[in-house]
Chains A and B, each alone.
Chain A
Amino acid sequence: MNSAQQLQHLYWRAGFGPRPQDVAASLSPRKALRQLLNDSEKYEPLVGPALNYTDPQGMAMTDPASIKTNPVPNGMVTTPDQPAPPGAPTAPVATMRPRAVFRGGTIAAGVPRLRRAALTPEQRKMQNAGIRDAFNNMSTAWMERMATSPAQLREKMVLFWHGHFACRVRQPDAALSLHNAMRQHALGKFPDLLLAVSQEPAMLQFLNNQQNRKEHPNENFAREVMELFTLGRGNYSENDVKEAARAFTGWGYDYQNRFKFREREHDAGPKTFLGKTGNLTGEDVLTHLMAQPAAATFLVTKIYRFFVNEVPNPAHIEPLAVAFRKSGYDLADLMERLFSADWFYEPANVGTHIKSPVELLAGIRRTLNVKVDNSQPLLGYQRALGQNLFQPPNVAGWPGGRNWIDSSSLLLRLQLPAILFKNAEFAVALKQDDNDIAPNLSKAERTVRPGAGAHLPLAPLQQLLGATPAAQQPEKLSAFLLQASIRPENLQLVQQAAAQKEPAEALRATLVSLLSLPEYQLA
C-alpha cells in the first residue's frame, strides 16, 4: 500500500474522508495524523439560537426533583404526547419501577418537565414542532461540522461517543448539553468524559437515576455504566450493580437542568463494590471502575471495532489497552497509537468498513466540498437509511456493520448520488414509528423528496486531475473516491456513462457513477 492510499485510509477512519486539497498536500500519514490531532485539539461547543427549543407558551418549568409539587404517578411513564391525566394518583416513590421498565425509555420517562397536561392540543402540537425543529437543527449543525470542520478527528470521536453513550431524550437542551460534554472530553481523559456524561441530566433521566433514592434504589444507571460504558458483561456481579446503585443515590438534576447531588436521598452507608468496601460515593464507584483492567480492554475493543475492524484482534488490542491504562486513559494518546500502528494500514483493515448513513452523507459532502441549500432532505435520507442523530435505537446505540444494509437501504444508498446531484425522482416515506416526538405525522409529512440543492464544485477536482487526459480521469477519480481498486467492468461502465455526456458534463457523470458503486459504501 502506497503512502497516498494510507493517507486516504487515515482520513476516512479518523474523519469523514479526504478532500482533493488533502490529497494534493500529500503529507506523510504520520504528518497528517499530527495535523489531525492538532486541528482537533480545541473544543468548540455546538451552539446557536436555532438549536435551542424555546417554549412558545412561555410555560413555567416544573421542578422534576420535587416529587411533591410535580407528582409522577407510578406506572405512568410520561411520553411525549401524554399529559398526566387530571387527578392521576400519586404513587410513593417506593413503587417506582425497576430498571427494566425504563431501559430505553424516552426523554420524558417519568419526568414531565413541561406542563403538558395544561396544554391544548394545538399548543401541544406547537410544542412538538418546536422540539422537532430544535432536534433537526442540532442534527444539521452537527452534520455541517462533520462535513466542514478541520477538527475531523474530534468530530469522528463525538460520533463514536454518541453511539457509546447512547441516549434518547425529548428535551433538545438536555440532549445538546450531553452532546457538548462528549464533544469537550472526546479526546481528553476517559475518566473525565465518564464523569461528565454520568452527571448530565439527559443521561440521568434516560437511565432513571433521577428516581434513584436511598430507600428505593433504581439500578438502571448503575447497570449500564458497567455493562455499556466501562466494563462489559461478565466483569461484575449482580451484587456490584446493587451496591453501585446505592452509591449513585441522590445523583439527579434540578429544574434548570443542572446536575444536583441531593444529599438527603443519598445512601451514605458502607458498600462493597468490586471488592472495595467503604462509604462509597458515585464518584468513588466511577474511579474504582477505572481501576479495573477490564475497562481498558473493553473500551479499546469498542474503539477498535469502530475505527479499525469490526472483528477485534486481541493481539492489536491488548498492547493498546495496557498503554491506555498507563496513560490515565488518555484518548488522544490512544488514538495516536492506533492510527500509527502498522497493522492499521494492513489491507485487511482498509476499505472494509461499511459506512454508517452519517458517514456516507458527511463523507460525500466533505470529500467533494459539496454545498447544500437545504439540509432537511439530507436528514430525511439519513433517517430512511436508519441513523437519526440524537435518536439512537436503544441504550446500546447503532449496531453498525452489516446491520446498515438491506435491500431497500442498499438501493437507496446507491441511488443517493443521483438524487443529490441530478435531483432524480425518488421519494421515500419514513415509518410512523421512527420517532416519539411527532408520532402521528401524515404520510405526506413523512415523505422525503429530493431538493437538497447540492452543488458539486468541480474546480478542486479539476485541480486534483491536473493534466490527466480525459480517458484516464475515471481511473484517477476512482482512486480518490474508492478505497478498493475499481473492477475493470465497473471502470468500463463509468467510462461509458461519461462518454455519453458533453465534455462539460462528463466529469460530473463520472463522479455520480463512482459514488453509486457498491464499493463507495465502504471506507
Chain B
Amino acid sequence: MLTTRREFLRNSALASTLLLVPKFLHALDRGPGLAQLRDAVGARRLIVVQLSGGNDGLNTVIPYKNDLYYKARPTLGIKETEGILDMDKDLGLHPALKGLKGLYDQGELAVLNAVGYPNPDRSHFRSMDIWQSGSGSDQVVSTGWLGRYLDSNCPDCQRPYNALEIDDTLSLAMKGARRKGLALKTPDKFHQITQNRLLSKVSKEAAPQHQDQVDYLYKTLAETASSADYLYDKSKIYKSSVTYPNSDFGKNLKTTAELINSGVESRVYYLALSGFDTHVRQHEQQQRLFTDLGNGLAALADDLRQHDQWNNTLVLVFSEFGRRVGQNASNGTDHGTANNLFLAGGALQKKGVLNDAPDLANLDQGDLRHQVDFRSIYASVLKDWLGADDTAILGTGFERLPGLV
C-alpha cells in the first residue's frame, strides 16, 4: 500500500482537525532530523548540479542584444526570433530553458556571469578536478570542497548519508580526508547490493578498536550498510507524483526529491548531467540537454515546494568551463574559460542576473576573462548557507559575495 506522506497527512488532517493531530505527526511533517536541521541556525541543504563536458555558457545565458555575439557566431548564435527567454541586463535564456525561466520569474533563480579562475585549464579532466577540489589551477589537492566540508566538524555531517551523490561512483568533490559522502543510484539498488548474503553478515561484525586499516574497512562497511538500511526504509515514506523528464538526469532528480521529501537527513546532494562537450552540432545537443535541465529543475522545485522543502534548499549549477566565443567549423564550440553559474532556491537573497554579461569586446585570445572566482561562490555557500567555516575549507583569499545566499 503506497500512500504518499502528503496524502497521509491530508487524510489525517481531514479525519481530525489540524489541532488534534497527534504531536508525532507534526514531527513527521518535517521529519525529526529535518525539523532540527531547519531550526538550527543556518542549517540548510545544498544540491550541486554538475554539467559535465563544458557547457557553452554564451548560448545558455545569451547576450542577444550584443552584435559581437552574433559576429562571433554567425550560424550558432541563437536569434531572438527563436524564442530567447528575456531576462535582465540584455540577457536571455536559451529557448529550451523554460523551466529555469519559470524559476527566474518567481525570483528563485540567480545568474552569475563569467565565473572562473585564474590561468584556466581547458582539459575536461583537470578543470573538473579544479572545480571539484576547489583548488587553484597551480595546486594539486586530493580532497573535494564538499568532502572538506564534511571533515569540518559540522554536526550534521557525521554520517555518510549526510552527503549523497546520485550516481554509481563517488566524485572527488564529495571526498574528504576523514569523511566521505555516499554514492547511490537509488536507495533500492544501493540497499540490494548490501543484501548480498556474505556482505550483509560481515557488515554487522564490529571493527576491533585499533584504528588501523582493517578497522577502517569494517567501519566503512558497517556505515555503508546501515546507511543503506536507513535510506531504503526512509525513502519508502514518499514517492513523488511530480512529472520529471524521462531521462537519467530526470530520474536522479526525482530520487533526490524523494529522499528530501522523505525526511532524509542529508545536507548535500550531488548530481551530474553529462554530454556538454559540443564541438559539433551544438544546437541539437544543447536543445536536448537544456530541456532536461530546465524541466528537471522546475519539477524538483515543484516537488520540494509542495513539501515546504524548497525554502531551505539551494541548487548550484556549474560546468567545468565555458566554450570559446567564436563558433568552430562544425557548428559547435571548442573548450573555453569562464562560464555562467546558476543558483536556485525558494529563499534566495539575491535574485535575477547578478552581474554584467561577459565583456565580448575584451577577450583573452578569443576567450572570456573571468569576473568572479568560483571559490568566492563556494565560500558564500559554505559560510552563509551551510554555516560552515569557509576559510578552513577553502583557504584564505576568497572574498564572500555579501548577501548572495
Contact = CB atoms under 8 A, between A and B. Distances in A.
Contact of B277 (A405, A431, A440, A516): A440
A467 interface: no
Nearest to B130: A104
B365 A518 contact: no
A175 to B, nearest CB: 15
A410 B199 CA distance: 11
A129 interface: no
A75 B367 contact: yes
Given A81-B277, A103-B138, A407-B180, A431 B171 contact: yes
Contact of A408 (B123, B168, B280): B168
A491 B184 CA distance: 30
Contacts of B281: 121
Given A405-B216, A414-B199, A430-B169, A105 B223 contact: no
B117 to A, nearest CB: 10
Contact of B125 (A106, A406, A415, A513): A106
Q: Interface on chain A toward B: helix, strand, loop, or mixed SS?
A: loop
B42 interface: no
A396 B142 contact: yes
A484 interface: yes
A440 B275 contact: yes
A428 B137 contact: no
A76 B121 CA distance: 9
B194 A105 contact: no
A518 B118 contact: no
Interface in A39-88: 73-79, 81-83, 85-86, 88
B198 A497 contact: yes
Given A79-B335, A100-B136, A405-B220, A418 B196 contact: yes
B326 A85 contact: yes
Interface string A98-111: 11111111100100
Contact of A432 (B52, B126, B216): B52
Contacts of B88: none
Contacts of B330: 120-121
Contacts of B275: 432, 440, 442
Interface range on chain B (Cβ under 8 Å from partner): 35 or more
A407 B202 contact: no
B328 interface: yes
B181 to A, nearest CB: 8
Nearest to B121: A105
A239 interface: no
A439 B213 contact: no
A518 B218 contact: yes
A443 B280 CA distance: 19
A517 B202 contact: yes
A124 B126 CA distance: 21
Contacts of B120: 101
A434 B125 contact: yes
B329 A86 contact: yes
Contact of A519 (B129, B214, B216): B214
B324 A407 contact: no
A399 B334 contact: no
Given A86-B329, A408-B182, A436 B123 contact: yes
A99 B128 CA distance: 18
B366 A76 contact: yes
B6 interface: no
A384 B220 contact: no
B210 to A, nearest CB: 10
Contacts of B168: 384, 408, 428-430
A106 B127 CA distance: 11
B118 A100 contact: yes
Contact of B202 (A73, A430, A443, A518): A518
B21 interface: no
B71 interface: no
Bin the interface of chain A by size.
Answer: 35 or more
A521 interface: yes
Given A75-B365, A89-B366, A493-B201, A101 B170 contact: no
Among B123, B202, B213: residue with most chain A CB under 10 A: B123
Interface in B171-199: 171-172, 175, 180-184, 193-194, 196-199
A341 interface: no
B121 A407 contact: no
B307 interface: no
A409 interface: yes
A8 B27 CA distance: 57
A354 B142 contact: no
Contacts of A410: 217, 220-221, 224
A409 B221 contact: no
Contact of B272 (A103, A105, A432, A522): A432
Interface hub of B160, B320, B328 (most chain A Cβ within 10 A): B328
Interface string B331-342: 000110000000
B364 interface: yes
B223 to A, nearest CB: 7
B119 interface: yes
A264 interface: no
Contacts of A168: 125
Contacts of B181: 406
A372 interface: no
Contacts of A409: 169-170
Interface in B197-211: 197-199, 201-202, 205
Interface string A348-369: 0001111000000000000000
Nearest to B207: A518
B236 interface: no
B105 interface: no
Contacts of B216: 402, 405
Contacts of B137: 100-101, 103-104
Residue picked from A99, A117, A391, A431, most chain B C-beta under 10 Å: A431
B9 to A, nearest CB: 32
Contacts of B365: 73-76, 88-89, 91
20 contacts: A78-B122, A79-B335, A83-B334, A85-B366, A101-B137, A103-B140, A405-B220, A406-B181, A406-B182, A407-B183, A407-B220, A408-B184, A411-B194, A429-B167, A431-B171, A433-B320, A435-B124, A439-B277, A519-B214, A522-B213
9 nearest A-B pairs in the assembled complex, by CB-CB distance = A75-B365, A100-B138, A432-B274, A518-B217, A101-B119, A82-B334, A407-B224, A121-B280, A432-B52
Interface of B: 52-53, 118-126, 128-129, 136-138, 140, 142, 160, 167-172, 175, 180-184, 193-194, 196-199, 201-202, 205, 212-214, 216-218, 220-221, 223-224, 227, 248, 272, 274-275, 277, 279-281, 320, 324, 326, 328-330, 334-335, 364-367
Interface of A: 73-79, 81-83, 85-86, 88-89, 91, 97-106, 109, 117, 120-121, 124, 168, 351-354, 384, 386, 391, 393-396, 399, 402-403, 405-411, 414-415, 418, 426, 428-436, 439-440, 442-443, 484, 487, 489-490, 493, 497, 513, 516-519, 521-522
